[in-house]
Chains A and B, each alone.
Chain A
């Protein structure tokens, strides 16, 4: 008999295939997102862990002006320091074949190849070879930079090394654990064409930069159990006389920092999106089983009267639910595997590991299985309980007709003015308020998902607009090797195509407020800027006060300060002055964090003549190629960044990642809406098939009968639209803090297009589901209803 029950199970699945499919599809979506995201998360964490371990990624980093190599012996003696790697690191302008603008290259000295321990931050050679022992022109290039510029082995790159033009020959491509995410100085999004890392023999580099027997950068490994803050403090003390810019740990190491932020974001997505789907799937399992049990009351009574134990029959229905969910689980896992590989492919474009592959490990599989089966069990509880409770005799009678009594709607005379069809719709909805509420919630969640997907896209667009239209309005930014006198501006102005010039000074500082501190660059600019403006939340320019500082709101949060408070500012380069300044107001630029000061005010405080570290230029774009050619050969220039190129790069990145995200969210929203609307209409049809067929017999047309059934769904969908918009806005509001980072902050903006888009998508998906059900209405058997009662 048990096998007969199984056969019955198979037939039930077939009979209810539409709903079974909708439910399984939602489970598949939930499991798919979960395994995609969670698998991607774990793959990245694993790849990072492996790579950091095998390459001996350093724990602490420091940059300084110049110190003798002999100092490394003292650094090694600091308690908790396990290994020290001293190197020379310099940013230079590069002339790259095929690129008209100058690129910025970071030159790093290679460790002594004879070193026994192989050094820290070991490079992974992907092609070519290391530079020969005494070569001063051979260089390794990051694989990323080589790919972006289509460089081949043997290619020549021009570089200005300490004022001298040098042609470098690319002999190998490498990956470095320090540049898994390869971004240039003060950049958020990678521009791999215009920023690249190169490694050369230490001898060659130190000779070129007059750093023989000296170093200006450190990578340090700490011993197990060492206290990082203490190590950092000791290092800072040792480096202070040598222009040390304060050491920092992995948490502030740019590449690691970006990677960690991204991982955090994936983890959030891997939790709430699958939860949404599985929640709705549980609801669908519930409605599906409720329908099945009501159809099969007679059969249940029969089985009970045969002497089947109630739990045995209950288990049969639970099995039914588990079967559907298992099907969804299998499809979801398969889809997760597929999309996981695709998503890892996307991440491979930003995060460069020697080995990064999507892996769905046992933990992910077990978690997905438990969660999906849990949702199924949760959804089937009430139906199974009904089966168990049903008395055999009661079950053999047909279910009593649905009873309608004058309800709230009627006593409030809300239905009085409606035509009979609308009354019927209104009462059917009012009779099952919970079911209606759940359906509305499901559709609203779907709509909210689409809103959120769209929000991320629109918010990034808005962020770009604010930043580049309101704040950064220059065409070109030039950073010098060293601080220079403002007189340099005159020579910049004389360059071809330069229309106007605005200087800035970037001074490495440590800001202290109470026990909190933050290492960053103090930016000194003219009080009233035209090319670079400090902006408030609405994108309006803020004039710098004649004294005091302006902080990015996020920085103020980190330091726990507000306008009116005083900050202690420690200059980390030059004469290492310490001074205090009042916070005058906060700014709201969406990218990065900064402290701003009027350049004249800073010069006064430092008691120095004004100095500049770079300039922003407005240029005549027709003359740009000539300007770029000049800049490439200007010794004093360390880096050149071009606004248009940056915008293009960011747009490309957005297209690759944010559009994918928006598309995924929209697709999921569509599946959700179809699942909920189809399911709910299908149940209504099964409950009211006889009613509708009778109306057809009475001469109602197909479309009139369809309206009666789908009118109910239409009301649900229409009710869900404002609810979904509101919910979407709320979720966006909740998401904003998750995107409130030092690197960038998503503004909380709600656009009409966001809601219009989500509404259209929802209506479209609902219409599709309705069409599927309408086909069923057309197939109603008019003759059967004359004789049978359900």
Chain B
């Protein structure tokens, strides 16, 4: 259905609030970051020197920057895939419950209300090598847990802390998606003798693909951009650089280290990566998505 407006002005007027918000909160800061990336400047903004591409060259000649990219990929895909799998499993379970359904669903949504830094601190306490209950339990079954020294364990910790919150969000969408699957299709399949497992994979899962695709995009963006609070509260990027993701580095260099030029150059690169990722997702993955 197409709506036609009598004059040209009205649609623009209706769009205006959104355009203003986008310009002030997204385009302007992005432009500022782009400009800043070509300067080196002291923290107070008293002296400023144009350095051309030097901030970028510094980054791309630093082997650790590439390591950080790899770390980011491992981290982001673990968070996205881990969070979505667990959420899907929980959603399928919750969808089948008859009694107390609302209680289960409400409880599963709760963690989303927890602030990222708080979630980080929570997991940091649970996994503290000397006093964390989980670390002590792991110790009992013969796993020496020390994420202060072991990079892989530190990565597991930040992935768990970052995923935990996101599970609730994903759960909500999967549950809504499941409830939209027509019962008649599933009933027809059961009459034909399809097992629950087969019914899920051949009917429900394909019908969920728009939701899954949407969540994949949202989760990757979350893992790329919004997780520095969690990392800061749990590992501070260490040990070594094993949990220093690109966005944590932006935060650390910019807000903690006050290296504005270097930090801005990194955000520009991050913007480019996310733009590229979104294009790839929409061009290649979306083709496999079936909308209704």
A-B interaction: no
